[in-house]
Amino acid sequence: MLKPRDSALSVQPLKYLLRRRIASFAERSKWLVVVISATVAICIVCNSCHSGRAIPPNGSYSDLDFIDLLRSRTDAQIRPATGPQFSLHRIGDRDTKSDEYGLEIVWLEFPRLKAKMSVRQISASDDADQLYARLSGNRDLALLNGGYWENREETKEGKKEEVSYPVGLVRANGREIAPFRRDMGGGVVFQTGSRFDILPTDVFEGADERPLDAVQSKPLLVDDGRTAMKSDDHRRDDRLAIGIDANGSIIIALATQPQGALTLYEFSEFLLLRIEKGGPGCVRALNLDGGPGAHVYVPSLNLHLGRHNASYVNNVIHVHY
């Protein structure tokens, strides 16, 4: 494993990325007919075509799609001055001639029982780098953007103004900031004592959990080791997710690219990629507020990942020891 220095965190060019993407195949015109024929054949066999894609019986393309991408992976074993050791994995494309130039995927693994999650409601707009650095504490291993929010028009002292509110359940240090929404779908990431977990919204409600900290968000990307996405809308954007692997370790994953990184379906495929294949190996993963708000801060490295622009942040998830 590489030590956490600049060279360890650099990324190497990729020759091939996400070979399943239609745009990439289209440029290789000699393969276009073959690809279309194969896609139609798969759709007929599976009898389950969604938005132009066929979902295979095991619900995942991960082992096929990201092999080339993972060949350029660089790893760093982070040993903070205090707190548990954790791992950072970084892959990306810096080849200016590549179709996927600028794509970067980063994921972090925090060891089971040594890392916990807490939530802070901040409702603030600021430069992302400055905001997250200011919020970090001595025990923090990473900070990331939390769940979704919405603006509601309210009248105060005779004047109408828009006020931002969290969408779905938010609990911070035992206090409920926003109520649970059963109609929201998705899932809930939560911490109860020493237990960190992610559950689908309906399962969470039925389990009668009383977490100290929790964020409800959507969609659920991975559930029980399978993709929870039923179709691909082909909309690429910067993505952010929190997950859990088979060992109970906390996984944070981020995908960024100037012109839009991955679709939610592609992101779920990557999160599923088994550990022995070089991926995160999530058994459950929940999408968080990405896009302009996609940001992860690693205090021990003073490393900011994702968007660096000024944006509104409703709540922040702290991973700490």
3-state secondary structure 193-258: CCEEEEEEHHHHHHHCCCCCEEEEECCEEEECCEECCCCCCCCCECEEEEEEECCCCEEEEEEECC
Residue pLDDT, tens place only, 93-130: 777 887 778 889 999 999 998 999 999 999 999 999 99
Choice among 55-64, 66-75, 148-157 with the minimum mean pLDDT: 55-64
d(C-alpha 171, C-alpha 188), whole Å: 11
Q: How many CB atoms lie within 10 A of CB 1?
A: 10
Interval 226-245 mean pLDDT: 95
| pLDDT above 70 (res 24) | no
Amino acid 67: pLDDT: 65
Largest Cα–Cα distance in the chain? 67
From residue 195, give the alpha-carbon distance in Å to each of 11, 117, 236, 244, 276: 34, 9, 33, 11, 25
0.85 surpassed by pTM: no
Most confident of 52-56, 118-122, 256-260: 118-122
Percent of the chain with pLDDT over 70: 79
Amino acid 71: pLDDT: 74
Amino acid 66: pLDDT: 67
d(C-alpha 194, C-alpha 209), whole Å: 14
- pLDDT band for position 4 (cuts 50, 70, 90): very low
DSSP class of residue 300 equals G
Which residues lie across from 175 on neighbouring strands? 172
* HSE toward the beta carbon, residue 8, CA cutoff 13 A: 14
| pLDDT above 50 (res 6) | no
